[in-house]
Amino acid sequence: MYRPDLVDRLRRIDLFPKYVDSASVKTKSGAFLSIVSYLLLAFLFLNEFRLFIANDAETKLTIDSSSGPSNLDIHLNMSFPNLKCGSLHVDVLDQSGARHLNIKQNLIYQPLDENGMLLVNKKKGSKTKENYCGSCFGAEQFTPSGCCNTCQEVKEAYYKAGWKPTESEFEQCTNQRFHEEDTGIGCLLHGSLKVNKVDGGFHIAPGFNVIRGSQHLHNIGSIEKEGKKDCSHIIHDLTIGKQFKGSNSPLSHTKNIYSRQEMMFQYFLKIVPTFYQKKETFQYSAYQFSREINRIKSNGIPGVFFSYDFTPIVIQIDKKNKNFFHFVTQSLSLLGGVYTVSFVLDRFIFTLWINRDKKDK
């Protein structure tokens, strides 16, 4: 049964009153405000959508209490314009007592010409047999395998024994000498070093390693006659662990070129363990120092030295999860806000226009 009183009561709570066309007035100011409102609403909505799809990161600082892996990888890419690859030795030493000398594994040494370009050897060296074991000429006990297959290994064994090598007496050095013109004048060194997760350092220096008790020395007598101890270098890239977008690598693209022959370059790194989306990596800060070697004061050897230690602070970086309903709510709020402000402005302008017409009449 139709009840007019009930329908009338329902109409009173209608939040959306309807206006017939004959009771509405359209003005130029209203049209202008409508266009501005549409443009503003589109701009605000696109900005809100951009924020919704953006990868926001949440950063936290905590104390490093994780055991984690016992080692990490240091990735480096460096060039030495004035040092041959055969003169470079890469060594790693740390506070746990570990020593890794003359590292070749996971490192690539490529000769450079006078313009810093990679040199392609045209000559082919004599092939070494698979089971070949070269003589160490009396110094076999000072090598791990008892074999000296290269000139460098023979000379290193002699230095460890405390003997003075004579290259002309070694077959390995004689066979290697004809490659001298193809070894270039510089060297590009790139690859990775696996180091323990304890404070320590690694260095790249000319001359052969000599262990005297607990001392680690470099004998540069073998290159003394060449007069080539210029350790000027360019660090193209130096990163630690796996990298992520926005990670810090301050030493990349560092250039240290000096005209003086004997320079010692030192880099001090503060390594910060970082968990990016629960995956461990590392960032670092660094500062550098260089000085000229004084033979009289014996204040060091030419080379590039990196010292690093670890901070007890861990950076945790996690992505923030965006709530779709929050995005919808924000969008509707923008729509309502723009419409309300535009309506108030339009009403204000229309009232002024009506009052002006009344005064004119």
Q: Among residues of the chain, what percentage have pLDDT more than 70?
A: 72
For residue 156, the surrounding DSSP H or E stretch is: helix 151-161
In tens, the pLDDT along 197-216 reads 889 999 998 877 666 666 66
The pLDDT score that the predictor gives to residue 307 is: 95
Low-confidence ranges of the chain (pLDDT < 50): 122-128, 177-182
The pLDDT score that the predictor gives to residue 176 is: 54
Nearest to 127 by CA among 171, 175, 85: 175
In tens, the pLDDT along 29-84 reads 777 778 888 888 888 888 888 877 776 777 888 887 766 567 889 999 999 998 88
In sign, the C-alpha dihedral spanning 58, 59, 61, 64 is positive
The pLDDT score that the predictor gives to residue 270 is: 93
DSSP-derived 3-state class of residue 52: helix
> At a CB cut-off of 8 Å and minimum separation 6, what does 77 contact?
188, 189, 190, 235, 236, 237, 238
Helix 28-53 crosses helix 324-360 at what angle (to 10 degrees)? 170
In tens, the pLDDT along 323-351 reads 778 778 888 888 888 888 887 887 777 77
The pLDDT score that the predictor gives to residue 123 is: 42
The pLDDT score that the predictor gives to residue 78 is: 94
The pLDDT score that the predictor gives to residue 295 is: 66
The pLDDT score that the predictor gives to residue 112 is: 87
